[in-house]
């Protein structure tokens, strides 16, 4: 009688561990598809946006300054705010999201 009771306990413990492993693996997959993968995609789009900036593009900085690209020199961008008024900013200070909104609004 005791032996059959022990066998039932051992069988239940093995499936419980596998269920926990499956649950943990599922949580990792969900986190990857809803958090990590979209962040990697956004970073790739931002890198492409920054590398393709050219003279004449309408841009918005992270600080909300709107202007037109006057020239690009390495990691620096000269943004013309008004005739004769230019601002020197880092490429990384340009916002992909705000620039998309600006260009979609036109």
CATH of the domain at 64: 2.30.30.30
**φ, ψ of residue 53 in degrees (nearest 5):** -65, 135
**62 and 103 part of one domain:** yes
CA 30/CA 47 separation, integer angstroms? 25
How many H helices and E strands in the chain? 3, 4
**48 and 60 part of one domain:** no
Among residues of the chain, what percentage have pLDDT more than 70? 85
On whether the CB atoms of residues 49 and 96 are closer than 8 A, the answer is yes
**45 and 60 part of one domain:** no
Sign of the dihedral defined by the CA atoms of residues 69, 71, 77, 79, in that order: negative
**77 and 30 part of one domain:** no
Does the pLDDT of residue 39 top 70, yes or no? yes
Q: How many domains does the chain have?
A: 2
- pTM for this prediction: 0.67
The whole-chain average pLDDT of the chain stands at: 85
């Amino acid at each position: 009688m005791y032996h059959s009771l022990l066998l039932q306990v051992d069988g239940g413990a093995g499936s419980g561990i596998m269920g926990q492993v499956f649950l943990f693996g599922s949580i990792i997959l969900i986190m990857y598809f809803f958090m990590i993968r979209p962040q990697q995609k956004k970073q790739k789009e931002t890198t492409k946006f920054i590398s393709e900036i050219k003279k004449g593009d309408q841009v918005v900085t992270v600080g909300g300054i709107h202007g037109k690209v006057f020239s690009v020199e390495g990691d620096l961008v000269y943004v013309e705010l008004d005739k004769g008024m230019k601002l020197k900013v880092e490429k990384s200070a340009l916002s992909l999201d705000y620039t998309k909104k600006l260009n979609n609004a036109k």
